[in-house]
């Protein structure tokens, strides 16, 4: 069986592989960078919509 797998090895689609690897790289890097962000800064950012500086808050 391995003989056939090895025979087919050269037929892989480089574009599909490139796509998958690129995604994996981008996703892993962004996930890593995001999860090392400072916690208090993240809390401040997530509150931005609730702090709109309006002088008059109409009812």
If binding means CB under 8 A, how many residues of this protein chain bind another protein? 33
Sign of CA dihedral 47, 52, 53, 55: negative
9 binds another protein (CB under 8 A): no
Q: Tokens in use for 43?
A: 């809390």
- Provide the mask over 40-59, with x wherever binding to another protein is found by CB under 8 A and - wherever it is not: -xxx-xxxxxx-xxxxx-xx
Q: Is 53 buried (19+), middle (13-18) or exposed (0-12) by CB count in 10 A?
A: exposed
Site of interaction with another protein (CB under 8 A): 13, 15-16, 18-20, 22-23, 26-27, 30-31, 33-37, 41-43, 45-50, 52-56, 58-59
């Amino acid at each position: 069986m391995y003989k056939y797998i090895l025979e087919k090895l050269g037929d892989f689609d480089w574009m599909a592989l490139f796509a998958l690897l690129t995604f994996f790289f981008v996703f892993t890097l962004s996930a890593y960078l995001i999860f090392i962000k400072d916690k208090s800064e993240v809390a401040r950012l997530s509150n931005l919509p609730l702090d709109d500086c309006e002088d008059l808050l109409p009812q």
